[in-house]
Structure 1
Amino acid sequence: MTAEITKNPTGYNATFERHFNHPPEQVWAMLTNNHKINRWFSGLQMAQEGESGHLTLAMGHGKKKEFPITQYEQGKILAFEWGDDHVHFELTPAENGTNVRMIETLPDITGQTPKDVAGWHVALDIMEAILDGHGIERTAEWDRWYPEYKRLFESMGVDFA
């Protein structure tokens, strides 16, 4: 199922709702433990955990981009800047696991937007697959979801031509 795309006062939200059959501690570790993060999002690292912390993303050639943490509640909420966008993860204990809500706040929809939203969709799929103990083919999954998101944004009247 695709993310729900909604208009907000300053742009758009892409909201992903997932249920992982794993306790919140294990899901939280996927978001904050660098060994685990690197398995679902290559190059992303928790440089400094906590409210005044930040994540980094390796951009190649030794360059890194820094993403300040904007909201942090141990084991429950991790939110950070993502370029012009904002990413918010919220974990809620549930029967037989954890409900995960991820919201990407987008100030604008560009030709890159469906690619990025498909990327977050696949990242969540990979995170779940890792927790479940099996693999997933990142490129094939992205190739599957990108056209869905492109159609979704086009159905909202966005013209990518």
Structure 2
Amino acid sequence: MNPHSDTLTTADGRTALRMERRLAHPPRKVWSAITDPAQIGRWFPSEVTVELVPGGAMTFSMPGAGGPPMTGTVTDADEPRLFAFTWGDDHLSWEITPDGEGSLLTLVHTFGDRFGGASFASGWHLCITALSQLLDGESTAVTPDTGELHEAYLEQFDLGHGAVEDTADGLRIRFERQLVRPADAVWAELTKGDEPLPGTPAPEGFTAEKIPNGPVTEVRAPTALAYRWHPEGTVRWELGQGTGHGARLVLTQTGPQEFDTETALAAWHSRIEHLAARLLEN
């Protein structure tokens, strides 16, 4: 299963992940595997109930997850060609077309969180691998992703670059990146034991080449740190809830209208990529 055949596109605030896989089994067998709750539970990490008609109700119960199950609604159930449904705010479409003696399975997952695209892709990659093994009569055990597959998709989908925003208070650089380790592990990597204190220079891990350091103005371990790099500018790191792999990093740098955003974008991109590589090692 080649991740390079997968695509991620964004339009009107919604992002669509498209994945195609050729399976050595006829459409009706594939249809059963993706619609029968007893089979779904063997390749998908959730218990599913489904009323297999358009408008039918669905539930998704993740083992070990507290609270009520997530719900969805069947939007298409055209056996053995198309199965589609909502899952919370997301929409998933599974299309099966004949391909010689087998089938071409096309998944389109549409969602609002563009920066979660690599997480969704790596998760579906493993699910469809297990689905293929189920169809082949093999064990559906797959090795969980420790981060490498996620990072490969993130690079393929070009989700690691920042943007320049023109705000009422001046220019702002913003990076958003899904990381593969939880916030406390990221914080430990950033601080290296040098716990930041208000008024003191930021630890080296929170700085980037060619970006002046400055006094810490806010610190909330392990989720936030800000420091003033310029009389009119602040660097801020935030580690929030991510998409299952780890923390979601949002890094911003504000400054006066004349500050060199091109240099800053390159510097922070390099710094965040180094951080991501280090997290894979730990």
TM-score > 0.5, shorter chain as reference? yes
Decide whether the 8 Å contact of 1:126 with 1:136 is kept in 2. Answer: yes
State the SS of the aligned residue for 1:135.
coil
Q: Which of 107, 112, 117 does residue 113 from structure 1 map onto?
A: 117
Moved more, 144-153 or 21-30: 144-153
Summarize deviations over 1:66-85 as a string: whole Å, max 9, x none: 11112221211111112222
Moved more, 2-11 or 24-33: 2-11
After superposition, residues 1-161 of structure 1 pair within 5 angstroms as 1-2=2-3, 3-59=6-62, 60-61=65-66, 63-110=68-115, 112-141=116-145, 143-155=147-159, 157=161, 159-160=176-177, 161=249
- CA separation in 1, counterparts of 2:148 and 2:154? 11
CA shift in 2, pair 1:42/1:155, >3 Å: closer
Amino acid of the residue matched to residue 7 of structure 2?
Answer: E
Amino acid of the residue matched to residue 140 of structure 1?
Answer: P
CA shift in 2, pair 1:108/1:63, >3 Å: closer
Task: Report the counterpart of residue 245 of structure 2 in structure 1.
Answer: none
Structure 2: gaps of 5 or more residues: 163-175, 178-248, 250-282
Structure 1: gaps of 5 or more residues: none
Q: Please state how far the C-alpha of 1:123 moved relative to its aligned partner.
A: 0.8
Moved more, 53-62 or 126-135: 53-62
Amino acid of the residue matched to residue 61 of structure 2?
Answer: A
Moved more, 139-148 or 21-30: 139-148
Alignment coverage as a number of residue pairs: 160
Amino acid of the residue matched to residue 29 of structure 1?
Answer: S
Q: Please state how far the C-alpha of 1:156 moved relative to its aligned partner.
A: 6.7
Q: Please state how far the C-alpha of 1:155 moved relative to its aligned partner.
A: 4.8
CA shift in 2, pair 1:63/1:139, >3 Å: farther
Which is richer in helix? 1
Pairwise CA RMSD: 2.2
State the SS of the aligned residue for 2:55.
coil
Moved more, 139-148 or 86-95: 139-148
Summarize deviations over 1:51-110 as a string: whole Å, max 9, x none: 121321114346211111122212111111122221100001120211111001122313
- CA separation in 1, counterparts of 2:108 and 2:93? 5
Q: Please state how far the C-alpha of 1:49 moved relative to its aligned partner.
A: 1.0
Q: TM-score, normalised by structure 2?
A: 0.52
Summarize deviations over 1:118-142 as a string: whole Å, max 9, x none: 1112111110111112235434356
CA shift in 2, pair 1:79/1:142, >3 Å: farther
- CA separation in 1, counterparts of 2:21 and 2:124? 12
